[in-house]
């Protein structure tokens, strides 16, 4: 039964790794020789995104018939008694949420203090991607109002009550927030490092998405989410990671200029100066 959920997540992860090199090619356009000939940035969403989005949606739908059987399989006494799975699941969940914010924030701070621009860039965009993904997931949870697996004694995977999820934590199952955070961080890190070392995608991608998949499966093991919850969370997080990195590098946003290039320096008279940069490198 685990093969069903694992297979769905593997499909999402494989699509993500495959698409990352394509996305990375769009992030750093070649500057025009003549400033007057500058072209507008490429659109944020393309036909390729629609194709991958359809594939993600189809994988989520494919999980619905398996939701109840997978939940029953993972909550049987034999599976729950496995101490290794239990401890591993707790560990990877903590790393994803709230760990993603601490890790990304830490990388950003170290990068700024040590003046390692790429590290600061990676930490900030990873954190930004997780934040965007989490906000989208919160909205979806509230709108869909799906009951979590542990709530219903008859393991009813089709218990949806629209807009009831905003005030009831037991109806915030669809999609999985932990899976969203983990895949958003994985996508952002893979895409960001791919702009520096394109060939690294095939090494960093499997490692990052493999870890994110472990987080998603742990949420099912703890009976907090259905299989379709974690697959949709993986899709939302992956798209958020891609698009945050892509948009940041093609549009040079004011937020990026402020966060990555503003410094607070002593003025020599006991005060401070706020020094910013008008352009990104």
Tell me the pLDDT tens digit for each residue of 93-133.
Answer: 888 888 899 999 999 999 998 989 999 999 999 999 999 99
Mean pLDDT confidence for 22-43: 51
Report the alpha-carbon distance of residue 235 to residue 251 in Å, rounded. Answer: 24
The pLDDT of residue 98 = 86
The pLDDT of residue 11 = 65
Beta bridge partners of 273: 265
Helix-helix angle 117-144:227-251, to 10 degrees:
140
In terms of Cβ atoms closer than 10 Å to its own Cβ (0-12, 13-18, 19+), residue 26 is middle
Report the alpha-carbon distance of residue 235 to residue 6 in Å, rounded. Answer: 14
Least confident window among 43-52, 94-103, 139-148, 208-217: 43-52
Residue 30 pLDDT grade (very low, low, confident, very high; cuts 50, 70, 90): very low
**DSSP-assigned letter for residue 263:** E
Tell me the pLDDT tens digit for each residue of 239-272.
Answer: 999 999 999 888 878 888 888 887 655 555 655 4
| % of the chain at pLDDT higher than 90 | 45
Q: Is 2-24+46-275 CATH 1.20.144?
A: yes
Q: Is the peptide bond before 100 cis (omega within 30 degrees of 0)?
A: no
Mean pLDDT confidence for 130-159: 90
| % of the chain at pLDDT higher than 70 | 72
In terms of Cβ atoms closer than 10 Å to its own Cβ (0-12, 13-18, 19+), residue 69 is middle
Mean pLDDT confidence for 140-146: 97
Which tops the pLDDT comparison, 80 or 172? 172
Q: What residues have CB less than 8 Å from 73, skipping those under 6 apart? A: 1, 2, 79
Which tokens go with 172? Answer: 């915030």
The pLDDT of residue 276 = 54
In degrees, to the nearest 5, what angle opens at C-alpha 52 toward C-alphas 124 and 223? 75
| pLDDT at 193 > cutoff 60 | yes
When the pLDDT of each residue in the chain is averaged and rounded to a whole number, the result is: 81
Q: Is the peptide bond before 175 cis (omega within 30 degrees of 0)?
A: yes
DSSP secondary structure, 82-111, as one string:
-HHHHHHHHHHHHHHTTHHHHHHHHHHHHH
So where are the chain's domains?
A: 2-24+46-275
| pLDDT at 81 > cutoff 90 | no
Are the C-beta atoms of residues 221 and 74 closer than 8 Å to each other?
yes
In terms of Cβ atoms closer than 10 Å to its own Cβ (0-12, 13-18, 19+), residue 59 is buried
Which tops the pLDDT comparison, 21 or 158? 158
């Amino acid at each position: 039964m685990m093969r069903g959920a694992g297979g769905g997540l593997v499909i999402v992860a494989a699509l993500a790794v495959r698409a990352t090199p394509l996305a990375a090619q769009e992030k750093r356009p070649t500057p025009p020789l003549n400033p007057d000939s500058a072209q507008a940035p490429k659109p944020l969403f393309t036909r390729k995104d629609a194709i991958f989005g359809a594939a993600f949606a189809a994988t989520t739908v494919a999980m619905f018939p398996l939701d109840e059987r997978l939940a029953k399989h993972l909550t049987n006494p034999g599976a729950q008694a496995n101490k290794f799975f239990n401890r591993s699941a707790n560990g990877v969940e903590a790393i994803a949420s709230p760990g993603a914010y601490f890790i990304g924030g830490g990388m950003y701070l170290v990068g700024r203090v040590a003046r390692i621009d790429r590290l600061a860039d990676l930490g900030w965009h990873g954190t930004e991607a997780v934040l965007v993904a989490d906000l989208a997931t919160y909205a979806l949870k509230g709108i869909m109002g799906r009951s979590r697996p542990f709530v219903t004694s008859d393991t009813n995977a089709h218990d949806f009550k629209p807009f009831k999820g905003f005030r009831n934590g037991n109806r915030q199952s669809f999609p999985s927030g932990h899976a969203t955070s983990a895949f958003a961080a994985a996508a952002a890190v893979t895409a960001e490092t791919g702009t520096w070392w394109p060939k690294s995608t095939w090494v960093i991608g499997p490692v990052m998405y493999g870890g994110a998949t472990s987080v998603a499966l742990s949420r099912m093991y703890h009976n907090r989410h259905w299989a379709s919850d974690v697959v949709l969370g993986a899709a939302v997080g992956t798209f958020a990671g891609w698009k945050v990195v892509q948009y940041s590098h093609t549009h040079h946003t004011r937020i990026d200029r402020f966060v990555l290039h503003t410094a607070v320096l002593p003025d020599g008279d006991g005060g401070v100066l706020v020094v910013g940069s008008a352009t990104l490198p």
